[in-house]
Chain A
Amino acid sequence: MILSAEKIRKLLEHPDPNPAKRLVISPLLDVQKQIKAGTASIDIRLGQRFHVPLRAKLSQLDVMSPTHQTDLLRYKDDTFVPIGDYFVLHPGQFVLGETLEWVHLPTDLVAFVVGKSTWGRDGLIIATAIGVHPNFSGILTLEISNVGEIPIYLYPGLAVAQLFLASVQLSTESVSPVPSAFQIQTAPRTRNVDIEDREIIEIFAKHLKTTNL
């Protein structure tokens, strides 16, 4: 069930004494504007760090390449834009941004991040990993791209996305949650190459070669 704005406000106003069971969205600069009565989400703001891939150095994004992960980490420009300053996103440009807020979800809540439609009308697409699992704790990485034709100024601190929260039907079995690979991320992070996924493709490729199909 999706949580109403009032319910979200209540959870933030009366946090559980046990930090593990707490919903945390911090810092909330202007609650009145971020949690609007009658809605079912909370607005989240653009943070101060941007991760820009260096196009001049990256020839491809190929998860099967053995240097994929290191290339992603090496050929990037991490830019810090303090609140009050701006970042210009040019048409066709893609960067990773972050939320200003730290988000911590308890075991019984899941979140969905959606870009605000007002920005979408300017050509700014804020696609995110969309689903944020229970027990996640960190800033959210925002995948920002300008699909319009005019450069867009991005100001850290502006509300650019909204977080929908939903309750999770818990099983009666007790499970110890496995921490996400993006747990405690404090700045936008590129993908982690899933080694197991890559191994599956490699096994298939080898099989194809040997069977000559």
Chain B
Amino acid sequence: MDSFRRIAALRIQAAQDRTHAVTEEVSRVENKVYASPGSQTILRFAKDAASRIEALLETEKQIANSSPLTAPQLETRLYRISRLLPLLHELVGFVDGSDVHQCPSQLIPTLRRYSKSILPGSEIIVSSKPELNYSIQDIAAPLRNLFSGTEVESSCALLPDLLFVVTIPVVESGQILIHGVLAHELGHAIYDRHGIAKSLLPMITVSEDMVKKLVPLMMNSQGKGAGAPSELGLRRKVTEEVTERVNGWVKELCSDAIGIQLFGPALFFAATHLLTSFSRIDKATETHPPARLRLRLMLRMLKQRYPVNEWSEGLQSLCRNWDEVSSGPVSGTNHYDQIALETINDAVLDFVTLASESATSACARYDGERFRNDIAQLAPMFLNHIPPGEMPPYIGGVPVGLASIINAGWHVYLCDFDKFRKSLHPKDGDTRFAAATKLHELVLKAIEISGIRISWEEARRDSKR
């Protein structure tokens, strides 16, 4: 028993070292300049929780030394506290890559404001990570759940209602046009917040017939040995696998649909440039549908909501080509994928579109009229090297919205890029990539100007109150 107590004391000390490391790390990074106040919120939370855990461990040390608790009782008490330690380490990791040098600081104020407008009570942190991937994750709710009922619960008061950590690829942090896919990530947040799964998924049924047809095939391929699963067991497994895929894929598709509602064609353009640049067009995973299906839905929505036939020839031709490619048959790589693909038919895509519409307010939606105006007014400004952050007149100018700036930028990239490139200094227009970088910089500058203009108006209003 004595050795258990001695070991318990050592373990508590080791756990205290872990908390101390968190506190030290927070002190090291808290003076960095972060693009979003959300990063500081996380650091404050981690520091506060670490100090509470350290104090609790100190109490445990005394209990371990003096009380007549049994070994299992001590083990339980200790675990109840120490299990929170890996979470604190993970939390500090979320902040990594979110300082102004590593993420597009021009974008963040505007993106924060945008996310607050569609998801009231939310805060957003954009963090650049090494993966070529975009993601979004609300960490406030899971933290509240994990810390609920523990002695550290009160630290959760520091958290906002929703705290989204959005990751973007670090080496592409300046590629603002590709960041149009953030509309899809915001779509995820809206999908969860509005509980769309609850209303949408019951409308989609996996065909029993397709499952029934697959099971004998699987039984034949697996043989009929002693350890082979029964027909009923296989049927259950197939249904589970397919349902998991359908649920995950519908979530992704609905997030795409919401993204199209929010950002319009810019999401489609960004998705066509990102999704298919490093992956096979028909590749699916358990959570993500094939890019071909996603692009089919997006293009379908654009054709329903935008006068695509009136767009410039360049855009029309792009859409025609993608239409042909995306409407082609998707070849599933396995039987589960194939059934999921057959389940998500045109009727399901209609449900998804409707769900996305009901989840977004009319004023948050980008539409054909705005796209037409943005192309007419903002795109020529880009071509003349003027970032369209505000609409003239420049005295009392009106700030331009995020979606408008990105859509106009895409239009220049897709339809007038050669003209833009030729207008640059020979060094800047030397390569296609260098010229594109200049365009990205202009788009980011426009977003920055728009953000400064809005922040200034807000600050002025606040000071008058």
Q: Which A residues lie at the B interface, using CB under 8 A?
A: 9, 12-15, 19-20, 22, 24-29, 31, 78, 80-83, 85, 100, 102, 104, 137-139, 178-181, 183-184, 186, 192
Q: Which B residues lie at the A interface, using CB under 8 A?
A: 33, 100-101, 105, 380-381, 383-387, 389-390, 392-397, 423-425, 427-428, 438, 441-442, 444-445, 449, 452-453, 455-456
Contact between chains at B33 and A85 (CB < 8 Å): yes
Give the complex CA separation of A52 and B104 in angstroms.
20
Give the complex CA separation of A122 and B356 in angstroms.
58
Give the complex CA separation of A203 and B243 in angstroms.
76
Q: How many A-B contacts are there with CB distance less than 8 Å?
A: 96
Contact between chains at B395 and A102 (CB < 8 Å): no
Partner of B386, one of A27, A80, A102, A179: A102
Partner of A31, one of B385, B395, B438, B444: B395
Knowing A80-B105, A181-B427, the reply to whether A28 touches B395 (Cβ < 8 A) is yes
Partner of B395, one of A13, A83, A180: A13
Which residues from A are CB-within-8-Å of B394? Answer: 12-13, 15, 24-28
Which residues from B are CB-within-8-Å of A178? Answer: 425
Contact between chains at A78 and B386 (CB < 8 Å): no
Contact between chains at B449 and A102 (CB < 8 Å): yes
**Shortest distance in angstroms between A32's beta carbon and chain B's nearest beta carbon?**
10
Give the complex CA separation of A184 and B424 in angstroms.
8
Contact between chains at A184 and B438 (CB < 8 Å): yes
Q: Which residue of A lies closest to B384 (CB)?
A: A19
Partner of B397, one of A27, A137, A184: A27
**CB-CB nearest 6 A-B residue pairs:** A137-B385, A19-B384, A80-B100, A15-B392, A12-B394, A179-B425
Contact between chains at B396 and A31 (CB < 8 Å): yes
Contact between chains at A13 and B393 (CB < 8 Å): yes
Give the complex CA separation of A22 and B380 in angstroms.
12
Contact between chains at B455 and A184 (CB < 8 Å): no
Which residues from A are CB-within-8-Å of B383? Answer: 19
Knowing A179-B424, A184-B424, the reply to whether A27 touches B449 (Cβ < 8 A) is yes
Contact between chains at A137 and B384 (CB < 8 Å): yes
Partner of A26, one of B385, B397, B423, B428: B397
**Besides A27-B452, A184-B438, 17 other A-B contacts (C-beta < 8 A):** A13-B395, A19-B381, A24-B386, A25-B394, A27-B449, A29-B456, A82-B105, A85-B33, A100-B452, A102-B389, A138-B385, A178-B425, A183-B428, A184-B441, A184-B442, A186-B387, A186-B442
**Shortest distance in angstroms between B197's beta carbon and chain A's nearest beta carbon?**
38
Interface of B is mostly: loop
Give the complex CA separation of A80 and B385 in angstroms.
23
Give the complex CA separation of A186 and B438 in angstroms.
9
Between A and B, 28 residue pairs with Cβ closer than 8 Å are A9-B395, A13-B394, A15-B393, A19-B381, A22-B384, A24-B392, A26-B390, A26-B394, A26-B397, A27-B456, A29-B456, A31-B395, A31-B396, A78-B101, A81-B33, A82-B100, A83-B452, A102-B449, A104-B384, A137-B384, A137-B385, A138-B385, A139-B445, A179-B423, A179-B428, A183-B385, A184-B428, A186-B387
Query: Which of B386, B394, B425 gathers the greatest number of chain A CB atoms within 10 Å?
Result: B394
**Shortest distance in angstroms between A15's beta carbon and chain B's nearest beta carbon?**
4
Give the complex CA separation of A179 and B394 in angstroms.
24
Q: Which residue of A lies closest to B380 (CB)?
A: A19
Partner of A186, one of B380, B427, B441, B453: B441
Which residues from B are CB-within-8-Å of A138? Answer: 385
Contact between chains at B393 and A102 (CB < 8 Å): no
**Shortest distance in angstroms between A177's beta carbon and chain B's nearest beta carbon?**
10
Give the complex CA separation of A69 and B385 in angstroms.
25
Give the complex CA separation of A28 and B399 in angstroms.
12
Give the complex CA separation of A27 and B457 in angstroms.
12
Q: Which residue of B lies closest to A187 (CB)?
A: B441
**Shortest distance in angstroms between B43's beta carbon and chain A's nearest beta carbon?**
17
Knowing A102-B445, A102-B449, A184-B442, the reply to whether A14 touches B393 (Cβ < 8 A) is yes
Partner of A22, one of B392, B397, B428: B392
Partner of B389, one of A26, A81, A179: A26
Give the complex CA separation of A14 and B392 in angstroms.
8
Give the complex CA separation of A72 and B253 in angstroms.
47
Knowing A80-B105, A184-B428, the reply to whether A27 touches B392 (Cβ < 8 A) is no
Which residues from B are CB-within-8-Å of A85? Answer: 33
Give the complex CA separation of A179 and B428 in angstroms.
10
Give the complex CA separation of A20 and B419 in angstroms.
14
**Shortest distance in angstroms between A23's beta carbon and chain B's nearest beta carbon?**
8
